[in-house]
Amino acid sequence: MSKSASEIEEKELIRKEFNELVDLCPRCKTEKGLKLVSKSFELARKAHKGVRRKSGEPYILHPLAVARIVAEEIGLGSTGVAAALLHDVIEDTDYTYEDLEAMFGTKVASIVDGLTKLSGVFDKNQSAQAENFKKLLLTMVEDIRVIIIKLADRLHNMRTLGSMPEHKRLKIAGETLFMYAPLAHRLGLYALKTELEDLSLKYEHPAVYQDIVNKIESKELKNREVIERFITPIEESLKKAGVEFKLISRPKSVYSIWNKMQKKNLPVDEIYDLLAIRIVFKHDEKIPEKAQCWNIYSLITDIYRPKPDRLRDWVSTPKANGYEALHATVMGPQGKWVEIQIRSERMDEIAERGFAAHYKYKGVQEKESELENWLQRIRELLDNSASDSMEFLDDFKLNLFSSEIMIFTPKGEVKVMPKDSTVLDFAFEIHTHLGYKCIGAKVNYKLVPISHKLKSGDQVEILTSEKQAPKYDWIKFVTTAKAKTSIKDAFKKERKEIILRGERLVEDALNKKKLTTNNRILNKLLRFHNIENKEELYFTIGSDKIDLSNLDKILREKSSNKLIKYWKLSFGGKKEKATPQQKIDKRKPYILSDDSEGDNYIIASCCNPIPGDDVVGYIDEEEKVILHSRKCPVAIKLMSSQGNQLVSAQWTTHKLLSFLAIIKLTGIDQIGIVNKMTKVISDDQNVNMRSIHVESHDGIFEGSIYLYIHNVEDLNNLIYNLMKIKGVHTVARQERIQK
């Protein structure tokens, strides 16, 4: 094909994509809307002319795809679509904010400007990262469309991630799982959130993803028969009752299945709510929506027996992002549990399209106030944000993305708190002074200490004393940013003096050895004492909680010492002179083999990966690769915050080195069962046992076995052989080693 022919074809494709975009956006068809969107498209096409994406396609197709997501999947109007078309113009071309403001007005220009500021949110420089993340939140507080378009941009990048090199794929997938998917969830964009999670899993754990997809597909035919038998009596009953409805069979997302497998340590076959249906009904104006939901639930439970602990009522108390639905799990045909979601058409649109759908409905103030409450919490967090960037990110994630619990005051008012909140968190949530004077609480009329963890539905009365004064140790058992900040504020001046004292003590101790403070020495101290950051180290030393009498020993220790957070494999052989570490090429996979140098890599103790696991390498300041399992929370955080320091890693055959693994067992206690287990292990030539611990209660045993193995395959073979022992009920690998 000649160049001109391919150019004509591309022009036709671009025009076709634009026409489809206009068709999908009802508010873009008005005279004013069409003019704005057409003008934005023409400028974006001109600005990105001649530029191509990594996949080779013209760059303009990316903003068109983002605008289509914004219009079709989220439902924004012409202003949002115009901003989506222009979202990369300020960042990637010569056009400025002033140019856009002159052509399109302040609103479109400010959204595009907000999106431009987000480009460096995940930066290798942690302090810059925190500042950029604050910019993201500030622009989001100003105009929520900024983050909605950013989510659409991220979704299209995830859909086209296959054209990127692997280390970039891991970085982008890690960021998506750590921050973007929870943001989509928080804004009620469930369809987006689900796809972002599934795509992240696809690129982080390709084999696992494909295995789950295959198993879902192989079961689909069988499950379809079960669903058909299941829904027939429900349809008859609803029609008889005069309910107008749509019945949608909804397979569970791949990521949610994988997540449940991890949490409950179950294979795919044992995830009981794989089958799910959604009933979306047309609201009958004569009956309140809530009553209609419960009527439908009643009709279903007349046919099928419900599972009481799986009833979720988000109709009476919607989630903070406005999500409303009634969820129930019932026993269907062939002993299969089926999850049912009951929603009105209004609830369904809000659930799928989130924030943008709220505009359509009356009585929207209540829902928007929930969103406003969330944005207000962001403002509070920004006002009191921590100086340490990772602490800021942790606070943000913990307080704004975590599951929620509902707590009642003595007068019956409801306060929404993050899961795992304590009595003290609740006291600070009501008022800072109440937190400072809190000595305990009555939870459901029972006296509890300030560290007591609250559960959803608790009624809490805070008890105070004027003699009470805040203690810095309180920070250990509060989770909300508001409580942490209030405690730190009370000790700011005193803490500053203690930190300065600690810094002087370290400097004096090093001066005596003719050394000066540098990052290498500080990192050794941090690792030795297992402390997260420099400020906390100085504070602990200044408070006389640790002394520097063993400084010589710490400085002599190599960074691979066992006392460090990371375990390192050390092998026999002569010690050779240390040679400078070669710079690692992050673009190529890092190969892990038996003949790797002893100094080459470190096994992270937080997740303890073994050959055969999906792993990722984090390159530290000494050019050493610290290996994490890709599903390790620490690794996900590193992928999102320090993606530029990552390298994809691949195992080769390991038959010489041994790696520590732990397996957990449960079963029926019988005479000689421990002997049978140890015999299976000793007969296995590829496994060495370090220790075994078994406890028995009322005829049931629980055990842990510590083993040295070569790879995942050998471990799986051993698990299979242990499962054959009569009386053994479950055998599973414990991937995180408890300290």
Q: What are the respective helix, strand and coil percentages of the chain, to the nearest 5?
A: 55, 15, 30
Asked whether 696 and 703 are in contact (CB, 8 A), the reply is no
Q: Which residues pair with 453 in a beta bridge?
A: 422
d(CA 355, CA 149): 12
Residue 425 falls in the annotated catalytic set: no
Asked whether 731 and 716 are in contact (CB, 8 A), the reply is no
**Closest CA relative to residue 222, chosen from 327, 329, 332:** 332
CA-CA-CA-CA dihedral for 584, 590, 592, 596, to nearest 10: -20
DSSP label at residue 283: P
d(CA 78, CA 71): 8
**Closest CA relative to residue 560, chosen from 571, 552, 569, 573:** 569
**Closest CA relative to residue 148, chosen from 194, 195, 81:** 81
CA 179 to mean position of chain CA atoms:
6
Residue 546 identity (one-letter amino acid): I
Residue with tokens 């040295």: 708
Residue 497 falls in the annotated catalytic set: no
Options 17, 57, 72, 92, the catalytic residue = 92
Residue 396 identity (one-letter amino acid): F
**Closest CA relative to residue 262, chosen from 660, 633, 618:** 633
Options 91, 420, 461, 489, the catalytic residue = 91
Three-state DSSP at 402 gives coil
d(CA 446, CA 36): 62
Three-state DSSP at 707 gives strand
255 to 212, 252, 636: CA distances (angstroms): 9, 8, 15
Asked whether 198 and 191 are in contact (CB, 8 A), the reply is no
Report, in angstroms and rounded to the nearest whole number, the Rg of the chain calculated over CA atoms.
Answer: 29
Count how many Cα atoms sit within 13 Å of the Cα of residue 381 in the half-sphere of its side chain.
26
Biggest distance spanned by C-alpha atoms of the chain? 89
φ, ψ of residue 75 in degrees (nearest 5): 90, 25
**Closest CA relative to residue 478, chosen from 445, 449, 447:** 449
φ, ψ of residue 728 in degrees (nearest 5): -80, 125
Q: Which residues are catalytic?
A: 91-92
